[in-house]
Amino acid sequence: MNLRGHENRLKFLEKYDVTPISHLKLLEDQKKDGEGGILTDSYYCFSYSLKGNSKKVLGTFNCGYHIAEDLLKLSNQDKLPLFNPFKVINEGNQLQEVANKGNLDINRQRKQYNEVALQLSNAINLIIFCYEGNIKEPLSTIKHETDKYYYSKPYDRKIKAVNTIIGNLFDKKLVEKISEINGNQEIRKFDFSLLTDVIKKHEIQNNFE
């Protein structure tokens, strides 16, 4: 996959459909491999599928904001609000953190997320944030559908699937993984209590918290 340069992105979109999954902020010293180079600030996660077969996701990729912005423009899709998990960023970036958090909060207030959907969307964002590689199916589809149908409570099977994925990827609870990578920037406390209620109902191991 080569997404460097506008022409290469045009060629890619002639063959594939792309769907934005997440727009995330990295830790101050965190780096990730992305299409187009090493990611050091904020980045997008996309899923992609062959034209005319959008239900069969072939995979996902991460890319920086410049490439993402061009892909979204070329495919006539809206930008995603930045998911910023931090309480505090270094002094020079404090205003940016406040603005980004406000953007996400305002977007979700306008959409009036179902509370369970919001917790699941946050959990998947944090999985992507913590995971070094590219996420796989069915996680990208669950994330997309959760945000698309934000006004509805996600099916229990989707919550159970994400719970299983956490265990497979990290071999520990999500809150434990978050605390592991917590560096100089303190991560906000996220509520997964409604997801926990679903897991308890099915009497399986809780990998959220």
| pLDDT tens digits along 175-189 | 999 888 766 667 888
Q: Which pLDDT score is estimated for 185? A: 67
Determine the average pLDDT of the residues in 83-98. Answer: 56
pLDDT tens digit sequence for 29-46? 778 889 988 898 899 999
In 3D, which of 186, 176, 179 has the Cα closest to residue 206? Answer: 176
In a domain? residue 127:
yes
Residue 208 placed within a domain:
no
Give, rounded to a whole angstrom, the gap between the first and last alpha carbons of the chain. 36
Indicate whether 65 belongs to any domain: yes
In DSSP terms, 19 is beta-bridged to 47
How far from chain centre, in Å, is Cα 79? 13
CA 188 to centroid of chain Cα atoms: 16
Is 207 among the domain residues?
Answer: no
The whole-number pLDDT of residue 188 equals: 86
Using CA atoms, how far apart are residues 84 and 22, in angstroms rounded to an integer?
11
- Asked if the structure places residue 206 within a domain, the reply is no
Tokens of 54: 């959008």
Q: Find the mean pLDDT for residues 97-107.
A: 45
Task: Please state the rounded mean pLDDT for residues 132-161.
Answer: 96
Mean pLDDT of 64-77: 96
Res 67: pLDDT? 96
Bond into 138 cis (ω within 30): yes
Q: Is 39 exposed, middle or buried (0-12, 13-18, 19+ CB in 10 A)?
A: buried
Helices (H), the chain: 6-15, 65-74, 94-111, 115-130, 139-148, 156-170, 174-181, 193-201
For residue 41, give Cα distances in angstroms to 28, 78, 158, 170, 196: 7, 20, 30, 23, 31
Q: Among 135, 114, 177, 112, which Cα is nearest to 24's?
A: 135
Q: Which structural domain, as residue segments, surrounds residue 91?
A: 6-201
pLDDT at 145 over 70: yes
| Residue reference for tokens 């998947």 | 124
Counting the structural domains of the chain, the total is: 1
Determine, yes or no, domain membership for 209: no
Alpha-carbon 33 to chain mean position: 16
Give the pLDDT band (50/70/90) at residue 135: very high
pLDDT above 70 coverage of the chain, percent? 87
Between the alpha carbon of residue 164 and those of residues 36, 144, 171, 180, 202, the distances in Å are 31, 18, 10, 20, 13
Is residue 131 in a domain?
yes
Residue 113 lies in a domain: yes
